[in-house]
Structure 1
């Protein structure tokens, strides 16, 4: 299971880098090349959404069926392990939500950039007429 969380962490890092690349002020030609490349990658990358959704469901199920541990019942070591598992689950939820949110941001930024490029081309055509 640790490998899956490592993959999700890497996906979040790559998505963050893509968002930064898309939002930096580049020259028009370079910007359109970056947007075109990312637009081609968006469709296959949609598989991250069900991957993250499945893991969210898994975390929820494990949280519902986790044995509670309080200071009166558990030893300090058991309490430490319980709290550690809760913190790991919270971190994993943040990773899942962040991966979906960043994917949505990439889609929106690409769509916005393509609309801007289309409007610029239409403005050019109108000026030439």
Structure 2
């Protein structure tokens, strides 16, 4: 079970690195190359959205079927284990949301850069006329 969270954490880290790379100031030629490369990666990287959704459903199902440890029936170690599992579930839910959100950021950054390039070409054509 821990492997899927490690994979998702690495995917979020890679997406974050790409978002930082896209937002750094760079020359037009380099930026257009980076944007075109990242645009090619975006479609195969879309797997992160359903994967994160499935993981969120898994977290929800486990939360609904978790034994509640409260009152005098629980020992201190059981209560600690219960709280630790709650914190892990919250961390994993944040990780899933972050993966989808950062993917969307990268998509929008690439789309805006392509629109800017298209508008610059259009402006260049109008200036030539």
TM-score range, shorter chain: over 0.9
In the alignment, the residues of structure 1 paired with residue 90 and residue 22 of structure 2 have an alpha-carbon distance, to the nearest angstrom, of 29
Count of aligned pairs: 129
Moved over 4 A (4+): none
**Aligned: 1:61 with 2:43:** no
3-state SS, counterpart of residue 80 of structure 1: helix
In the alignment, the residues of structure 2 paired with residue 20 and residue 88 of structure 1 have an alpha-carbon distance, to the nearest angstrom, of 27
CA RMSD of aligned residues (A): 0.7
Give the unaligned 5+ runs of structure 1.
none
In the alignment, the residues of structure 2 paired with residue 89 and residue 126 of structure 1 have an alpha-carbon distance, to the nearest angstrom, of 56
Question: CA offset at residue 31 of structure 1?
Answer: 0.5
Aligned to 2:103: 103
Q: 5 Å matches for 1:34-53?
A: 34-53=34-53
In the alignment, the residues of structure 1 paired with residue 68 and residue 56 of structure 2 have an alpha-carbon distance, to the nearest angstrom, of 20
Aligned to 1:84: 84
TM-score normalised by the chain length of structure 1: 0.98
In the alignment, the residues of structure 2 paired with residue 62 and residue 69 of structure 1 have an alpha-carbon distance, to the nearest angstrom, of 14
Q: 5 Å matches for 1:6-21?
A: 6-21=6-21
In the alignment, the residues of structure 2 paired with residue 117 and residue 100 of structure 1 have an alpha-carbon distance, to the nearest angstrom, of 26
Question: CA offset at residue 126 of structure 1?
Answer: 1.1
Give the unaligned 5+ runs of structure 2.
none
Aligned to 1:25: 25
In the alignment, the residues of structure 2 paired with residue 62 and residue 120 of structure 1 have an alpha-carbon distance, to the nearest angstrom, of 51
